[in-house]
Structure 1
Amino acid sequence: MPRHPRANRHSERHRSEHIGWLRAAVLGANDGILSTAGLIVGVASAQASKSAVLLAGFAGLVAGGFSMAAGEYVSVSSQTDTEAADRAREQQELASDPSGEREELVNIYVGRGLDRELAGRVADQMMAHDALGTHLRDELGLSETLRARPIQAALTSAATFAAGSALPLLAVVPAPAAHVAVTVAAVALVALGVLGAVAARTGGAPAIAGSVRVLFWGALAMVATAAVGKLFGVAV
């Protein structure tokens, strides 16, 4: 029995398909761990009580989650607006100057290695199939895979920020009062190292390099906030 044509298709999955949510997820979790842990370390270094430390950490979680969602939504919405403007401009140019738009495609394909005659035939077939989609993809680099999704980015960023923030907050509870800052810093650095490695591997980069660069900035932040707490803090 002949196989259905779809059965012969080679299915491929590329890391770029996940770049939108991966970026928001990694950014949210990293910021959640680092900012909340830094806040806790700074407050704890000022000899604050555990209840005050927990309150500060939880306030940082809530404020940071909303801040991340809002910032991500505004940023990605700006990208969406730009994409919409480019789409409208291409539609107008296709309507007013189709031959000029065809010539643009021909030159693009020639630049990619096709001879002009073949490039012309490819341009004609692609424009007959989906003129706007072809120009958005081949002329401007816009595709459905990389399309900006503001709501998805905002929700992902807020959720992962909250999840990341929960780690240093939970570390406060069992920590001895005199060692809250050290305990939280240690937990945060381990979590940041793991997150950096996982994010790097998911994106196709070496895990060690991803882990080291996150640990460097994480450790620097912990030292800075601890110094601020020691220098300017008073007992609460």
Structure 2
Amino acid sequence: MNNKAIQTEIDAHYLYEQLASHEEDPTIAYVYRQMSAIEKSHAEAFAKKQNLDLGQLLKPSWRARTLNLIGKVFGYDYVLGSLMNTEKSISNAVITNIKKSGEELRGTETTHVNILRSILEKQSKVTGMQLSKFESRHRSVGGNAIRAAVLGGNDGLVSNFSLVMGVAGATAGGSEVLLAGIAGLLAGALSMALGEWISVKSSQELYENQMTIEMEEVKANPEGEMKEIALIYIAKGIPEAQAYQMASDIMKDTGAAHEILVREELGINAEELKGSALQAAVYSFILFSIGAIIPLAPFLFATGLKSIILSVIFSALGLFLIGSAITLFTGKNLWFSGFRQVLFGLIAAAITFGIGKLIGVSVS
């Protein structure tokens, strides 16, 4: 287990503490505190094994602090959405380390979804409604909104950077670049917005129809649906008697029962369907435009070689920032991810610039 993996454990310990401190439901807050303690114990164990001073390591990384700041601004569902992805990498790292050392797996190396469920089972006062609420939070995809923002900006920057460099190569940075760049920005942003609107709207219409059918089944055959919910929990490892009691509790609230069946049977997250297709389209348009304006900006006040050089510098900085932002979700090294993004973006722009140069010479 290297220092990077230990830092991942420490970051998870820190973020679960933050989730617990901002959680209103005492049962779920308790689970988060237990998760935080487990992460800290992992970090302590690995640090001791390597004779490291954990006191010097027990500081959250910039990534964890940034995620916490995002949570304060946009809500902690965003933090949970990203943290759930981290759980898998922690589990895999632990399992790999144990296998390399020749030790036997103890069964505690699995993802925290199972650990959380075990903690809940040990709490005698946990009801079906509480477990339903926790699982709803656990499945949160809040982090995806931030990921979409980063990727939307990246699409706009890379596509328009390549277009601008292609035209610049053909015209030596002439005024035609500005016209082509604006056209590329508008065309790309409108295309992204329309695609996002169609995607969200069609998904909503399909899922709403399936959810309506499921609600009709809940009302028409409540006993059968209660058995289905119980079987779902039994399949998750919950004892049969407890599973049926939880299912019975849940069926007292038709809405809660419907939500669980929709999520477990249909694989639909009802929270995602509350989003506005128009709002998604507008956000997509704005995010793409922000990225696309970066390589185009120098041509608003300069021409020729100067504008080309400035465009490359602006775009490289933008690419590095995007690559760095991606590490919020991947946990990779900031410098590696940032410079990798710059490299790929510059290669794409160099290719289109070269093609534009060849076409320009040919036309001349």
Shift of the 145–88 alpha-carbon distance from structure 1 to 2, 3 Å rule, reads closer
Aligned partner of 1:3 in structure 2 is none
Pairwise CA distance, 1:23 = 3.7
Match of 2:209 among 85, 95, 100: 85
Match of 1:45 among 169, 175, 182: 169
Q: How far apart in 2 are the matches of 1:22 and 1:82? A: 25
Shift of the 196–86 alpha-carbon distance from structure 1 to 2, 3 Å rule, reads farther
Aligned partner of 1:166 in structure 2 is 293
Unaligned runs of 5+ in 2: 1-23, 33-74, 82-140
SS at match of 1:228: helix
Match of 1:177 among 295, 304, 310: 304
SS at match of 1:50: coil
Matched, 1:119 2:243: yes
Match of 1:206 among 323, 326, 332: 332
Q: Which piece of structure 1 moves more, 44-53 or 152-161? A: 44-53
Say what the alpha-carbon RMSD is for the aligned residues. 2.8
TM-score of the superposition, structure 2-length normalised? 0.56
Match of 1:19 among 136, 143, 152: 143
User: Contact 1:32–1:64 at 8 Å: present in 2 too?
Assistant: yes
Provide Cα deviations, 1:85-134, integer angstroms capped at 9, x if missing partner.
22122123223433332222111101212111110011111121222122
Aligned partner of 2:315 in structure 1 is 188
Aligned partner of 1:134 in structure 2 is 260
Q: How far apart in 1 are the matches of 2:207 and 2:339? A: 35
Shift of the 220–190 alpha-carbon distance from structure 1 to 2, 3 Å rule, reads same
The residue identity in structure 2 corresponding to 1:64 is G
Q: How far apart in 2 are the matches of 1:112 and 1:219? A: 48
Aligned partner of 2:155 in structure 1 is 31
SS at match of 2:225: helix
The residue identity in structure 2 corresponding to 1:63 is A
Identity of aligned residues (%): 31
The residue identity in structure 1 corresponding to 2:259 is G
Shift of the 213–87 alpha-carbon distance from structure 1 to 2, 3 Å rule, reads farther
Shift of the 233–33 alpha-carbon distance from structure 1 to 2, 3 Å rule, reads same
User: Contact 1:19–1:146 at 8 Å: present in 2 too?
Assistant: no
TM-score of the superposition, structure 1-length normalised? 0.83
User: Contact 2:154–2:288 at 8 Å: present in 1 too?
Assistant: yes
Matched, 1:75 2:202: no
User: Contact 2:164–2:181 at 8 Å: present in 1 too?
Assistant: yes
The residue identity in structure 1 corresponding to 2:77 is H
Match of 2:284 among 150, 157, 160: 157
